[in-house]
Structure 1
């Protein structure tokens, strides 16, 4: 039992590396009318180093020329790499890469009696393809939570989207959804609905809000910027805390 396993492995390895013989042209042999188009046939086969091509033809009436790609394309029969004309030509594929063969008979190459094939590289010698470039996806950190965060804070659901830093037009956009905030002053609470945040410019109207309050442009402060103040109809001034974010639209 101890000797069977090594012998079996040697048999398998030997059988997988065994060279194959290919009859060119099938039963018709090396001729103008092969059983299958030469290049369609070669494209459907896998050729390895040490495989053998067998060209069968009538001796004295034809031959096999191994040529360069340029000579193959032009059917040029002068100065071939090899010329074989024994009628039963066997050519060993002794290297990886392309091989080109044409008929030595006049006009046969022009009529389609030509063959090209590619021998694959031995295992372990196949050139590796270039590795794909690493992904350039930028993972932005999650925004830190606001202090004293609770369900009543409109900023609790504030979403900030920042484009990648490589974009020269990058700008932080702020999306403020519709939300309700309760403002309590002097033990009285009023509910206001925040619809949007407009650009906060110096000396200009900068807040839009809905309700029974209006914006007072006469109050100023905060380093020359407009101070947001809301009045009730009774003209009683009540200062509120503006909760929102400056945004570029």
Structure 2
């Protein structure tokens, strides 16, 4: 298993397979980055038709990916992966297997990659993130460990969010309930799960007690030193943006 450089894509496809979750100890663990990685192609040996000479790799549907993985159990396959954070493409080589972990009953897991995906537009990958701004003392946000100006909410246990108000609606729907958020830290360059309990009893303003920014001015920053091609990354790809949004409070 590993990664090799790739420069086969000059533009992004309209649709790709968004990698939402990666199971621990699975074949995809450590090779696929949840929420930021998109599957945009497979190697020729995986038997997915190409779009023609010079058209780049074909994006498989979820059904095609399942068929490819099933047909190549125990054999290494190559996936072309676009990372929205670095805006680069790389080749990932992994081996589908049912034996990567067992259930409590001793049965092998049904998943061959340990990967959950959905079809979406990769050019909108970083449109729906919420930047944590000031965090008030004693607030639910502070208790949950949210870091002001260094954290971005990328999604929750139910998946990604869509549209500026969806995050606020989600918070309101979880008043006095545990809400599991997936939060990206720019300082540590990692994605972690944060459990917060929105409530009106903590003694301050808002259900979370933090400022939240949305829109092009509050996007996740690209790494200061992007990975080189020698480290397994290809050419950078342009991603379209949206208009700025006002800063709100949750």
Q: Pick the TM interval, shorter chain.
A: under 0.3
Greater relative contact order (Cα < 8 A, sep 6+) = 2
TM-score by length of 1: 0.18
TM-score by length of 2: 0.18
Larger Rg: 1
